[in-house]
Amino acid sequence: MTGTGGAPAVLTAVLTALAVIACGRGDDRPKPTDRPATASGTAPGAAAPTADAPVPNLTPNELLARGTPTLVVGTLGDDAADRAIVTQAGRLRELFPGAAIVPDTSIDVAAGPAGWPPNPILYGGAHVNAAVAALDAELPLHVDATQLVVGGETYGPGARVLAVIPAAARYPAFLLYAGTGTPGVAEINAIRHGVEPLLLADVHGRLQTGTWVRGADGKVTATLAARARRIAWRTVERAVAGAPIRVAFPAQLAAAPDEAAVVEAVARGVARAAKRLEVAAPPAMTVYVYPDRRSKETLTGEQGDGHADPAGAALHVIRFDPAPDGGLERLLVHEATHVITGQLWGPAGSALLGEGIAVWASGQYGGRSLADWQRTLGERPPVAALLPMRAFRSKPEADTYPVGGLLVTIAIEQVGLAAVRDQATSSTRGSRARSAPPPWRRRGGRGPSTAPPTGARARGRPRAAAPGRGRGSARSAAPRSAAAAPVVAPAR
């Protein structure tokens, strides 16, 4: 887009939004003065269950119903890992305005349950969270940078767990968000969860649920349900600026006549995104190409045209026209932007800017240029009203994505891409959590929260524009008719 008519007024809104993200919303950092909630339900210090007692299977929704949570972020990683963890915790805190974000070092593990805050939610496995690391040998699961072990099963790269760990002698019940990789929790709240005590996920989505039981040795372990269906993939690799880009097709389908054209469209889309973002090379990534919408929904649970998993460096897209600058290439620019920025820049301070950068990079939304959107976009919510994740995701994407793209476009025209990048990710820049006396021992709290539990699904997962037509996300688009059977048929 080249025109910036009315730019002064819009620029003021842009700079104000960036300032809010860098300053006001940057208040997500753990500080000694944060006030956690008053404990409700089973308070720290309550009697631990006996060795022969039934294992309670508390769900995330039930834990959050006890009162305002305390978000405990891991600090064992580097600065980039710390920023990503705090940003993810901040997105959940939007649902619980009274919740405190505190560092893992504020938990006195040696003091037992009395050393814990009320209704704790811990972010990160043993490789990034000091409290999890200190209890690692006692927990009914293990998560580090390379593997997740639970219920006698071992899961490799890309594995994530969302589970309420049952209370024991040395710790109260707590909700754990953790995964392999570092930090392993990026976008983890975007996974649909809340009603299962134990949920495992991978780069394709929800993988397996489970419950906690007591084993013959008296220790708590997991009983796991059947895994969600996964299929074999056939991959073709292309290098983009030296980075391996793997394009994956369902192995059960023969190669289509235009498969080579699809691979080239994917490579062009990734290259365009990298060039637009001014990075020397994109990170390695895998692009899963589905033959139709129903196949994608069957295998991922998402029915949108495309979505990215930045933490797993994976993209999931429906096969569209692979012609140069066609639907598939434009879709790849948008989704690859999410992976590139997530891997190389760190998480954006808001969905408005995260999606705005992807729309700006692709230069269009729903098959229409940003210049066209600027001419026809009527009254839309104020920029400040779209900063909270919940507000942004609750509105139609046609009301939010073009606004984000235009905001980023004008900001880049005025201050440059580097400044926008630094501002968009600066809400947690330099936010290493500091050790502090546990504030829940010296302060009162706010009491139980009336905010909805995480099952309300505060979405943070990006979606892609439908090439040449109105865009429907996996979250808002109506399901297709059951008569439209997927090419990749589900297992019976």
* Residue 78 domain-assigned (yes or no): yes
Condensed to tens digits (0 to 9), the pLDDT of residues 399-442 reads 899 999 999 999 999 999 999 888 776 544 444 444 444 444 44
Are residue 309 and residue 333 in the same domain, yes or no? yes
**374 within domain boundaries:** yes
Determine what percent of the chain is predicted with pLDDT higher than 90. 60
- Asked whether residue 492 is assigned to any structural domain, the reply reads no
Q: Do 44 and 146 sit in the same domain of this protein? A: yes
**Cβ atoms of 158 and 285 closer than 8 Å:** no
Shared domain check, 270 and 203: no
Is 272 in the same domain as 125? Answer: no
Indicate the residue among 224, 250, 284 that finishes a domain.
224
Going by pLDDT thresholds of 50, 70 and 90, the confidence category of residue 264 is very high
According to DSSP, the residues that pair with 317 across neighbouring strands are 289, 306
Is residue 441 in a domain? no
Residue 469 has pLDDT above 50, yes or no: no
| CATH number for the domain harbouring residue 313 | 1.10.390
Instruction: Tell me which of 281-285, 320-324, 364-368 is least confident.
Output: 364-368
Q: Give the pLDDT of residue 414.
A: 92
Q: Are residues 208 and 267 in the same domain?
A: no
Regarding whether 242 and 213 lie in a shared domain, the answer is no
Distance CA 390, CA 382 (A): 15
Full domain range(s) for residue 48: 31-224
Q: pLDDT tens across 85-103, in order? A: 998 998 889 889 889 999 9
The number of distinct structural domains making up the chain is: 2
pTM of the model: 0.78
- On whether residue 279 sits in a domain, the answer given is yes
Confidence band for 349, pLDDT divided at 50, 70 and 90: confident
- The string of DSSP codes covering 361-401 is HHTEETTEEHHHHHHH------GGGG-SHHHHHHS-HHHHH
Could you tell me the pLDDT band of residue 392, with boundaries at 50, 70 and 90?
A: confident
Domain limit, last residue, from 224, 244, 277: 224
The reply to whether 193 and 311 lie within a common domain is: no
Both 156 and 218 in one domain: the answer is yes
Residue 376 domain-assigned (yes or no): yes
DSSP 56-115: P---HHHHHHTS--EEEE--SS-HHHHHHHHHHHHHHHTT-TT-EEEEGGGS-GGGGGGG
Please answer whether residues 306 and 335 qualify as being in contact, where contact means their C-beta atoms are separated by less than 8 angstroms: yes
Q: Cβ neighbours of residue 119 under 8 Å, at least 6 residues apart? A: 37, 39, 40, 41, 63, 64, 66, 67, 68, 69, 70
Task: State whether 337 and 425 are in the same domain.
Answer: yes
Query: What's the rounded Cα separation, in Å, for the pair 91 and 182?
Result: 19
Give 218-245 pLDDT, tens digit per residue: 999 999 999 999 999 999 999 999 999 9
Tell whether 469 is covered by a domain: no
Query: For residue 301, is it within any domain?
Result: yes
Could you tell me which of 390, 314, 308 has the C-alpha nearest to residue 352?
390
Q: Of 178, 194, 224, which residue is a domain's last?
A: 224
Same-domain check for residues 247 and 395: yes
| 32-76 confidence digits (pLDDT tens) | 334 344 343 344 444 555 566 789 999 999 999 999 999 999 999
Residues 201 and 261 in one domain: no
Distance, CA of 186 to CA of 317 (rounded, Å): 20
Mean pLDDT (whole number) for 371-389: 82
Of 227, 75, 48, 52, the residue nearest 150 (C-alpha) = 227
In whole numbers, what is the pLDDT of the chain averaged over residues? 80
Query: Do 213 and 238 reside in the same domain of the chain?
Result: no
